[in-house]
Amino acid sequence: MASRDDNPLLQDFTFPPYDAVEPKHIRPGIRSLLRKLEGELIELENTAEPTWSKLVIPLEKIVDRLSVVWGIVNHFNSVKDAPELRAAIEEIQPEKVEFQLKLRQSKVIYHAFKAIRESSDWEDLNEARKRVVQMKLKEAVLNGVSLEDSRRERFNEIEQELEKLGQKFEENILDATKNFEKLITDKKEIQGLPFTILTIASETAICKGYEEATADKGPWIVTLDGPVYRSVLVHCSNRSLREEVFRAYVTRASYGPLNNTPLIERILQLRLEKAKLLGYCNYAEVSMETKMATIDKANDLIKKLHNASWRPAVKDMEDIRDFARGRGAEEAKDMSHWDINFWSERLREANYDINEEELRPYFPLPKVMDCLFNLTKRLFDIDIEPADGIAPVWNKDVSFYRVKDSSTTTIAYFYFDPYSRPSEKRGGAWMDVVVGRTVVFSSDHQPPRLPICHVVCNQTPPFKDKPSLMTIREVEVVFHEFGHALQHMLTKQDEGLVSGTQGIEWDAVEIASQFMENWCYQR
């Protein structure tokens, strides 16, 4: 068992020790941290006063330390999956959830925040501090602070079970994705697949023991990894393979020991029970409490989108079906989901003479990142430069960057993990906070702690000495996630509980990312 002295999770650090943390550190590290934070919570409850220095600052230090350390564990859960890691998280997660509930259900802290809200000094607080108070009051209510005895006990049981089910759900998706492998030895079966994907499929075959595999001659192993799956549906002329891959993808974790159906049903039951314990009619009402939208506005938007898009969508399908019929395709009379992307791409090629794969050489990853950084310099007057080597990373393909303002002062850092690794990394793309900007750890007249984040994607990996060549969709994803990163990194808010993307309604968080994504097409 690792002691505090040699457990990297418990050390003070500027950059997380991603190269040193192992699954064996998680149980003792998190338990030791929780014991320490438990003591700090007890001290806070014993000394709390409705002032910023006696309530909010010590609370933020507790919240921040747990967030940063558990963030390392959670990050590994997303990008470095392994059986030992899963076992450690499964064992320690209930203890982490128990402490979070104790913190959020603290009546002492809740009433202290209410006292601030109701005090004569309320109007003297700046908007950021008012936001912190309002957010913490709502968080406490949504976490059951008003519940008593058996109702609170049941609420906590539900939260524990939901956390466990959510973790299992993600694991099943990842395992089901990894389990699908289609060995192909006849190139006719994968006719139409671009060379980039043939290369990935042959590399996969090599890793599985087919040492002589090549992109030209095979054999190839088709997986449900994002770049491969999408390419099969868009480019493979073998309809039976498209169907097999499509069905495998949409039915992941839908049967056998990895079946998520009972988990989903249980999650829905628990969410409804949780909502009713909190005094709501359904879980949608609970969810909307932390968003700008309302249920009625969301339903109205769906209706507007349906009315605006239905007829054009039907017309598009008719055009695709007519085009396929004109090419003698048997599936034109009974077009299925695995046919739409394929024939839509063929129609686009015919009408506009544009082939998505032929655009890849124009978007090598280094060039895309240079263009992105040049754009952010023009928009925000910042410089982004490589800083590899000053911060530990979790994979050799991860790069690290420093962000400087117009006076060359460092204002933020970020990690970039671009490539798909289906054996250990969950699908999709995201930005995650490592640490946020805050002044609570700064001495007098010292600058605030600088924000750091991850930008994680799942794009086509490079091959040998050639860079990753990106589709326009992959370019969009990078720009989108970098929009989230910019909102986190360029914040000038010193109140850590609401700096960056913290404290922003979830449906408003997407504004910055959509703004950056639009630059892929507009100048």
Q: Which two tokens stand for residue 109?
A: 């802290």
Asked whether the beta carbons of 44 and 58 are under 8 A apart, the reply is: yes
The continuous run of DSSP H or E covering 513 comes out as helix 506-517
Give a three-class secondary structure readout of 387-405.
CCCCCCCCCCCCEEEEEEC
CA 521 centroid distance within chain: 24
Those residues whose C-beta lies under 8 Å from the C-beta of residue 383, and which sit 6 or more positions away, are: 373, 377, 403, 404, 408
- As annotated, the active-site residues are 481
According to DSSP, the residues that pair with 221 across neighbouring strands are 183
- Lookup result for tokens 């320490």: 36
The side-by-side arrangement of strands in the sheet containing 410-419 is 383-386, 399-404, 410-419, 452-459, 430-435
- Cα(521)–Cα(523) distance, integer angstroms: 7
Nearest of 426, 429, 485 to residue 459 by alpha carbon: 429
At 11, is the secondary structure helix, strand, or coil? coil
Give a three-class secondary structure readout of 61-87.
HHHHHHHHHHHHHHHHHHHCCCHHHHH
Nearest of 469, 202, 447 to residue 359 by alpha carbon: 469
- Cα(491)–Cα(430) distance, integer angstroms: 19
Asked whether the beta carbons of 22 and 76 are under 8 A apart, the reply is: no
- Lookup result for tokens 């994504």: 517
Nearest of 90, 107, 81, 102 to residue 38 by alpha carbon: 102
CA torsion sign for 44, 48, 50, 52 is negative
